[in-house]
Structure 1
Amino acid sequence: MRWDRLFDDLEAQLAAQARLELDAEVAERTRTERSKITLGARLAGALGCSLVVRLRGGTVVRGQLADSGDGWLLLAEEGGRQQLVATTAVLGVSGLGRPRDDTRARRFAIGSALRGISRDRRAVVVVDVDGGTVHGTIDAVGADAFDIAEHPLDSPRRAEHLRGERVIPFAAVAVISSS
C-alpha cells in the first residue's frame, strides 16, 4: 500500500513539473511573439477605435482612427476635421486595445499621404514636434520635406493672402490638421 502512494505521489510531482515547464514555455513564446508587434501593426488593428494621442511638444490629438500607414496615422473628428499624425512624434496612445493579427497597415509612407493632401489644395495647420504651428497650403512634397505657402486658414491661397513660404522636414511634423 505504501508503495502505491509513493508512486502516485511521484507521478503527481512529475505531472506538476511538466505543467510548470509547459506554462513557462507558453509564457516565453507569448513574450517573443509580442516583441515582434510594431506600433504600426497595433494601429492597423485598431481601425475605427477612438484614440487619444500624446505628441512631442505637448500636443494632444483625439479622434477615430480612420487609416494608418508607414510612419503615419489618420484621425477623424466628429466635425469632419482630419488629422494626419507622424508616428515619429508620438509619445503615447490611449485606446488601442489588444493587437490583432488579421490587419495590415498601408505600405506607403507619410510623403505619399502629404502628396494626397497637396493635390487637394486644402488649407492645413501643421504642428511641429515643439508645438509650433504653421497655417497654409502644401505646395510641393519632396523625399524628406515639404513646402507650405503660409496664409490664414480662412483665406484661399492667393498672392494677396500669402505671408511667406516655408520648408518643413518630415521629421519635424507632429500633426497636420485639415477642416
Structure 2
Amino acid sequence: MRWERLFDDMESQWAAEARRDQDAEVADRTRAERAGIGLTERLAAHVGEDLEVRTHSGAVVTGTLDDHGDGWLLVGQALVPLEAVACLTGLRPRAGDAAIARRFALGYALRGLSRDRAVVAVTDRSGRTWHGTIDAVGSDALDLSEHAPDEARRRDNVLAARVIPFAALDVIRVVR
C-alpha cells in the first residue's frame, strides 16, 4: 500500500510538471505569434468597428474605422496619419488580412480631398487647426488655402496660403 501511494504521488507530480511545461510552451507560442502581428493587420480586423484614436496633439477622434491604408486611417470621417496616433482604444489583439488595407499612402488620400475641393479642418501636432481647401499635395507636404469654413475657396476669401508637412499633420476632417 505504501508503494502504491508513493507511485501515485510521483505520477501526480509528473503530470503537474507536464501541465506546467505545456502551459509555458503555449504561452511562449502565443507571445511569438502576437509579436508577428503588426498594427496594419490589427486594423484590418476592425474595419467597421468603433475605435477611439488619441493623437499626439491630444485630439480624440471617435467613430467607426471606415478604412485604412499605408500610413493612415479613416475614423468617424476624420483622416488620421498613423504617425500622429498616440494610442488606440477598442482595438483587440486579433488580426485580419493585411491585404485588405488600401495600398495607397496618405498623400494619395489627401489628393482626393484636393481634387474634390473639399473644405477641411487641418489640425497639426501642436493642436492648432486651420480651415480651408487643399490646393496641392506634394510627396511630403500639402498646400492649404486658409479660409472660413462657411466660405468657398475664392481669391478674395483666402486668408493665408500655408504649406504643412505631412510629419506635422494630426487630423484632417472634412467640414463640407
Provide TM-score, normalisation by structure 2.
0.91
Give deviations 1:55-86, integer Å, cap 9, x for gaps.
1122111111100112111012xxxxx21011
Match of 1:135 in 2: 131
Q: Distance in 2 between matches of 1:176 and 1:42?
A: 22
The offset of 1:102, in angstroms, is 4.1
**Contact conserved, 2:44 with 2:96, CA < 8 A, in 1?**
no
Within-5 A mapping of 1:34-45: 34-45=34-45
SS of the equivalent of 2:94 reads coil
Question: Structure 2: which 5+ residue stretches go unaligned?
Answer: none
Within-5 A mapping of 1:26-175: 26-76=26-76, 82-102=77-97, 104-175=100-171
**Contact conserved, 2:44 with 2:97, CA < 8 A, in 1?**
no
Give deviations 1:8-31, integer Å, cap 9, x for gaps.
322222222111111001101111
**Contact conserved, 1:127 with 1:174, CA < 8 A, in 2?**
yes
SS of the equivalent of 2:43 reads helix
**Contact conserved, 2:43 with 2:95, CA < 8 A, in 1?**
no
Matching residue's letter, 1:26:
V
Match of 2:21 in 1: 21
Larger mean CA deviation between 91-100 and 25-34 belongs to 91-100
**Contact conserved, 2:143 with 2:164, CA < 8 A, in 1?**
yes
What's the C-alpha RMSD, in Å, of the aligned pairs?
1.6
Matching residue's letter, 1:120:
D
- Runs of 4 or more above 3 Å deviation: 101-104
Matching residue's letter, 1:54:
R
The offset of 1:166, in angstroms, is 1.1
SS of the equivalent of 1:96 reads coil
SS of the equivalent of 2:51 reads strand
Matching residue's letter, 1:42:
R
SS of the equivalent of 1:57 reads coil
The offset of 1:110, in angstroms, is 0.9
Matching residue's letter, 2:94:
P
Q: Distance in 2 between matches of 1:56 and 1:8?
A: 60
Matching residue's letter, 1:5:
R
**Contact conserved, 2:84 with 2:169, CA < 8 A, in 1?**
yes
Identity of aligned residues (%): 56
Q: Distance in 2 between matches of 1:32 and 1:109?
A: 29
Question: Structure 1: which 5+ residue stretches go unaligned?
Answer: 77-81
Matching residue's letter, 1:100:
A
Q: Distance in 2 between matches of 1:70 and 1:122?
A: 22
